[in-house]
Amino acid sequence: MPLQFPPIVLFYALGAGGALYVAWLCWRARPARGAFWCALLMLSGALWAFTAGLAAMVSDELLAHWVNRLQYVGVMGVVYAWGAFTLVYSYYERWACAARSFIWRLSPSFFYTLMFTSQWHGAFHEVAAVRQANGYTFVDFETRTLFWFWAFYAYSILVGGSALLALSILRFPRLYRGQARLLVAGITLPLVLNVLFLVFGTQISGPYDPTSLSYPLTGLFFWLAITRYRFLDIVPVAHDLVFRAVQSGVLVLDSGGKVIDMNPAAEVILNKPLRGAQGKTMLQAFPHYADLIARFRDYQMLRDEIFVDGRFYELQLMPMTNRAGEPSGRIVMLYDITSQKHALQELDAYARSVAHDLKTPLGVVQSYSQLLELGRTSLDAQTVADYLTLIRRNAQKMTTIIDSLLLLASVRNQNEVELRSLDMGQVFSDALLRLGQAQEKSKTHLVSPASWPTAQGYAPWVEEIWVNYLSNALKYGGTPPIIEVGAAPLPENKVRYWVKDNGSGLSEVDQKKLFTEFGRLQQHLHLEGHGLGLSIVQRIVHRLGGEVGVEGAQGVGSTFYFTLPTAPNGASSAEHDQPYQVLG
């Protein structure tokens, strides 16, 4: 039977052409978020409009079945693509993964199979009549039970996606809100017409499906979103990626001081997810920061330092304006400057150490050198020897300070060290050898284990830990010093090592002052030292994945400990014949 050409075909062709053009624009913007699904959506809409026009041109019942099958490829493609597009565009694409969307992905294929075979089982739809209208012949289909299951599924996807976009308008920046409004309007128009056609049938548009007739306007809405609001433009996409990926915290407030957006870094810093803060004032969203909020509430532009949950941040407030230049909100930025603050503190402590600890022995060297120079002909041999001994000792003191500074810097700056299973007995013995003459007159009693749990670490650094702990126990212990050294496995694959002395002990206040660089306790200032030892220990142990600490109380001595990860084999070091040693 020859094809017929009712005038309505031109409108269907216009809708198909407009949808194809928008699909082409979307396809060109494929690097942008949602561009692929938008292109598939408009391509499916173009197929729907084209086949609707083709259905108006055929009057043969068998041919109408095949055109209808082709038309449902477009119909179901629109539903599927719209669901995927709204999820991706609204940053909920995780819900589109295979595990969570199995039914969503399978359902179009299932319903299409039912529709394709409906010519034989009639459970989806069937030809109701072939009738004449305005001089043209049309094939009418009547819906059956299975069709309404499909309709419920399709409308759930379409309405749900539109609702998701509508909710996204509340949290999108101004540029994205215009896009989302046009997208919702573009999909709502054919959706409403389709509902009216299903409910009222031919009373609305005669024998023609009005859904596809709306595609010129739908295409216009999408075209405006692309051209005016830069929908799918790479620039706003890039801005959004930066907003999400930047390590500094960023909050966007409206003119009323309510949170409209915040990036993941701000969620971590403030310990509050976006959904718990969005639409609330700063005080409502973050009541535990009431003092800070009250302090900066009335400022439009500001830069200051704040301390939040143990970390330092640089706070910046910047105003936002609309197109008319009127205030429309504020941007709050939080830069983590904790490492910079610590670096400045270390630099200040370093300067004090160089100025004080090095200045004293250097002054001694200079003074006695001058005395030797002035009295080179008058000084007796014993006096010269005494002066040289003082010069040597102070030079050795300066060398020790410089070596400690270099070690501290190397631990800070060395990016990689090779961690190996440690023979802790050997490492401990090497540390004892380094103590050398310092223990000759002390008659120190040292108790050490016969075998050691094996940890992993870097032997030269662990040796420094033992040297520092043992030298402190000798220096600040009792008379004579009694030192107990031990080790024990801990849960979570850790080993704890400790050094216990018989000194006067430390108060809780003094314990908190330890392990700080260049810091010394007031009661120990008369003893030689430079305050670097325990800070070196702490930095080494942290680099090796462990912890440091001190236990004890005044009058009962102190126990300094450190932990290291357990070696993979979990074995013990070689046993030593003498668990009890006496040095001195």
pLDDT tens by residue, 312-366: 999 999 988 765 677 778 899 999 998 888 777 777 766 766 666 677 788 888 8
Q: Which residues on adjacent β-strands are paired with residue 258?
A: 281
Confidence class for position 563, pLDDT limits 50, 70, 90: very high
Q: Find tokens 């160089």 and name the residue.
A: 354
- Whole-angstrom distance between the N-terminal and C-terminal Cα of the chain? 117
* Residue 503 predicted with pLDDT over 80: yes
Assess contact for 555 and 505: CB atoms under 8 A: yes
Average pLDDT of the residues in 491-520: 78
Q: Indicate the pLDDT class of residue 517, thresholds 50, 70 and 90.
A: low
CA dihedral in degrees (374, 380, 386, 389; nearest 10)? 70
- DSSP assigned state of 567: P
Give residue-wise pLDDT tens across range 123-132.
887 766 676 7
pLDDT-above-70 percentage for the chain: 77
**Helices 533-543 & 459-476 angle (0-180, nearest 10):** 150
pLDDT of 526 above 60 = no
What pLDDT, on the 0 to 100 scale, is given for residue 5? 79
pLDDT at residue 527 greater than cutoff 60: no
133 has pLDDT over 70: no
- Tokens of residue 364, six digits: 């001694």
9-17: average pLDDT = 85
Is residue 498's pLDDT more than 90? Answer: yes
Q: Tell me the domains of the chain and their CATH numbers.
A: 8-236 (1.20.1070), 246-336 (3.30.450.20), 346-415 (1.10.287.130), 420-582 (3.30.565.10)
pLDDT reported for residue 497: 96
With bands split at pLDDT 50, 70 and 90, how would you rate the model's confidence at 170? Answer: low
What stretches of 383-526 adopt beta strand conformation (E)? 420-421, 445-447, 456-457, 482-490, 494-500
Q: Which residue has the higher pLDDT, 360 or 309?
A: 309
Tokens of 329: 């909100």
Which single residue is written with the structure tokens 């009962």?
556
Cβ within 8 Å of residue 220, ≥6 positions away: 18
DSSP state at residue 123: S
Q: How far is CA 473 from CA 9, 98, 435, 488, 527, in A?
A: 97, 62, 12, 20, 13
Q: What is the pLDDT of residues 51-81, one digit of tens each?
A: 888 888 887 777 877 888 888 888 888 888 8
- Stated pTM of the model: 0.44
* Mean pLDDT of all residues in 268-275: 88
Could you tell me which residues come within 8 angstroms of residue 55 by beta carbon, excluding any fewer than 6 positions away? 64, 67, 68, 71, 139, 209
Average pLDDT across the chain, whole number: 78
Q: How far is CA 245 from CA 59, 173, 248, 267, in A?
A: 58, 16, 9, 12
Highest mean pLDDT among 161-165, 410-414, 519-523, 543-547: 543-547
Q: What is the pLDDT of residue 62?
A: 76
Q: Among 39-43, 294-298, 437-441, 470-474, where is mean pLDDT lowest?
A: 437-441
Strands 445-447 and 302-308: unpaired
Angle between helices 359-374 and 381-413 (to 10 degrees): 150
Question: Between 525 and 395, whose confidence is greater?
Answer: 395
571 has a pLDDT exceeding 60: no
Residue 519 or 313, more confident: 313
pLDDT band at 485 (very low <50, low <70, confident <90, very high): very high
